[in-house]
Amino acid sequence: MSKFEHIFFACAAFLVACQRSKQVPAPIQVPLQTDHSFGNADKVRTKHLHLDLKVDFKSKTLSGTATHTLDRQGNDSVMILDSRNLFVDEVTLDDGSKTDFRLGVADSLFGTAIVIPLKPGTKKVNLRYHTDSLSEALQWLNPAQTHDRRHPFLFTQSQAILARTWIPLMDRPDVRFTYSARISCPKELMALMSASNPQQRNDSGIYHFNMPQPVSSYLMALAVGDVAFKPLDSISGVYAEPGFLDSVAWELADMPQMIEKASALYGDYPWGRYDVLVLPPSFPFGGMENPRLTFATPTIIAGDRSLTSLVAHELAHSWSGNLVTNATWNDFWLNEGFTVYFENRIVEAVYGKDFADMCAELEVGELERTVSRMMRENPADTRLALNLKGRNPDDGLTDIAYIKGFLFLKHLEQLVGRPRWDAFLKEYFRVHSFKTITTGTFNDYVQEHLLQTAREAVAAKLNDWIYGEGLPDNAPRPASERMKLAREAAAKYQRSRKPDPAMVKGWVTQQYQHFLRNLPKDINAAELEALDQAFGFSRSGNAEIQCDWFTLAATALYRPAFASMEAFLVRVGRRKFLKPVYEALSATPQGLEMGRAIFKRAKPGYHSVSAGSIAEILHVQP
């Protein structure tokens, strides 16, 4: 044996010995307890969670401890938590004694169960852990990806099942717990959570949080960045990067009025403060209803307050979703359908009936397209009550939960009349406050407390709406005066194929959206060029219009729009805007090639949920 071979074999033997002495136990088979979680909430649940985490931008990790205070049924049990791409270093029980936890076999979708043996009197379980670059809830941004380009930024997105990628917990919406946290971050930055929040940066870089009302895991949220606060009134305000703060405050100035109208409709605002944090453009959603602190995309800052209904939506979740919560992801429409309905009522109260009807009409147009596509591809998913067992609950994030759910509630409103309906809804929110409920519970509650006569019970068609596919033929059809103008303009264009600049006078965003979505399907690049010259769509700074316009440009391969389209796809990470444009690109071989090249450049700036969806569309690795 040569000297090198000696050393090699000695090292190899040493490594094997080390491995043995560490005795990493083999992963065990752990069954799912619900369609999407390993958490054994029937035996033991978290009553309170305390987090003590350090935010490290260099290593892009969170590290620290999660302490669960338990609510136990009986004494002889283990506690099973969800995790995914998390590293648990040590688990101790209340007296500080270490416990031999075991990990489950990793599931590519649901992650790894953490099985923790409890002692008879155990009241607290303490996990020391850290995240890594695969922890999908987290997006770590470089300064260049922020508005002010001066400091890095971190935000989380937990819904639907990503809380388990940054906190070991029972990641199922029917487990509600209060929480507190101590977050330590770089001194130049401020930390914010879905809880009581600081309004100023401090010099220690240490922030304390408290959420005294029980919330579900998907509402856990953290953001760390160079942000400042501006109050709008005594209970609401906005957070944004300093260079963006004034624009944000101007755009969202109607928030206090929204809170007032919402409370007048369905009961007092239940969470103390309501603030909005406007994030950098890579935020993958339009908004996320994190309690006390909605996270929002900067693409709603249009300069004309035309897109603020998104805030009405996230605010409405303070009742429908955060207060009365879907018990499982199969009941997702209870969160979103109710919220779209409530959003529409807030918009009506603040901006008038025609504006609310216009928004509804635009959405119903989308719903019809979605239903006809889904009836071909996966008709079972057009039911309000879903079956997402074994699937990613994100599959339920479609216009069905949102718009079909909305139309169902609007239908019930029309059936019994507004006064009765509003009284019913207010009571529904009160009775189910801080509870999680299923579609069945809602169905029973409607039969018992809303429908009064046999005629009403028949006309309500509850089962058709909830368990049937497609859209019942008694579905309401909202229509507005303003949308009529956009409809007429689209019809006129269909006939003449010539833009008429006079017709868009005084139009708002939603009218342009309707017009763009109802152009002839076979519109060509030359016709798009004429429209572009008349209306300047390629130069629009309004993300809703950009999305619809670039989708048309991608379909018809209208090249003059490509530079601004690429800039849009690289800067904005909101999945709702990215998907239609990439889908349109992928319809032609030329477009697909371009889409893949753009994605390659844009991907480092996308959050995992957007990157995953776009990779699927383009058939490439996420």
Indicate the residue among 116 and 311 with the shorter CB distance to ligand BES.
311
CA distance 546 to 523: 17
Which residues, 61 to 120, sit near ligand BES by CB under 6 A?
none
Q: Provide CB contacts within 8 A for 372, sequence distance 6+.
A: none
Indicate the residue among 165 and 326 with the shorter CB distance to Zn ion.
326
Indicate the residue among 36 and 317 with the shorter CB distance to ligand BES.
317
CA distance 374 to 395: 12
Question: Residue 461 CB, nearest distance to ligand BES (Å)?
Answer: 25
Burial 411-432 (b: 16+ CB within 10 A, else e): bbbebbeeeebeebbeebbeeb
Which listed residue (288, 347, 437, 519) binds ligand BES by CB under 6 A? 288
Residue 159 touches which of Zn ion, ligand BES, none (CB < 5 to 8 A by kind)? ligand BES
Helix (H) or strand (E) holding 611: helix 608-618
Residue 576 touches which of ligand BES, Zn ion, none (CB < 5 to 8 A by kind)? ligand BES
Catalytic annotation present for 266: no
| Rounded alpha-carbon distances, angstroms, from residue 443 to 173, 205, 389, 455 | 19, 49, 21, 17
Helical packing angle, 405-416 and 418-431, nearest 10° = 120
Q: Exposure of 141 by Cβ count < 10 A (0-12 exposed, 13-18 middle, 19+ buried)? A: buried
Which listed residue (171, 251, 275, 289) binds ligand BES by CB under 6 A? 289
Which residues, 301 to 340, sit near Zn ion by CB under 5 A?
336, 339
CA distance 185 to 195: 17
Q: Is 509 left (phi over 0), alpha (psi -120 to 50) or beta?
A: alpha
Q: Is 285 in the site for ligand BES (CB under 6 A)?
A: yes
DSSP summary character for residue 98: B
CA distance 312 to 351: 11
Helix (H) or strand (E) holding 54: strand 44-56
Q: Is 554 in the site for ligand BES (CB under 6 A)?
A: no
Q: Is 251 in the site for ligand BES (CB under 6 A)?
A: no
Indicate the residue among 317 and 487 with the shorter CB distance to Zn ion.
317
Which listed residue (104, 225, 237, 286) binds ligand BES by CB under 6 A? 286
Residue 160 touches which of ligand BES, Zn ion, none (CB < 5 to 8 A by kind)? ligand BES
Indicate the residue among 291 and 605 with the shorter CB distance to Zn ion.
291
Instruction: List the structure tokens of 444.
Output: 């029973």
Q: Is 237 in the site for ligand BES (CB under 6 A)?
A: no
Question: Residue 406 CB, nearest distance to Zn ion (Å)?
Answer: 11
The end-to-end CA distance of the chain, in Å, is 46
CA distance 362 to 484: 11
Question: Residue 402 CB, nearest distance to ligand BES (Å)?
Answer: 6
Question: Residue 313 CB, nearest distance to ligand BES (Å)?
Answer: 4
Per-residue x/- track, 296-335, ligand BES (CB under 6 A): --------------x--xx--x------------------
Asked whether 565 and 581 are in contact (CB, 8 A), the reply is yes
Per-residue x/- track, 127-166, ligand BES (CB under 6 A): --------------------------------xx------
Question: Residue 340 CB, nearest distance to ligand BES (Å)?
Answer: 7
H-state helical runs in 331-480: 332-351, 353-377, 399, 405-416, 418-431, 439-449, 454-460, 462-467
Q: Which of 241, 251, 289, 314 is catalytic?
A: 314
Catalytic annotation present for 314: yes
Which residues, 356 to 395, sit near ligand BES by CB under 6 A?
394
DSSP summary character for residue 58: T
Question: Residue 202 CB, nearest distance to ligand BES (Å)?
Answer: 31
Residue 254 touches which of ligand BES, Zn ion, none (CB < 5 to 8 A by kind)? none
Which positions lie near ligand BES, rule CB under 6 A? 159-160, 285-289, 310, 313-314, 317, 336, 394, 397, 402, 576
Which positions lie near Zn ion, rule CB under 5 A? 336, 339
Active site residues: 314, 402
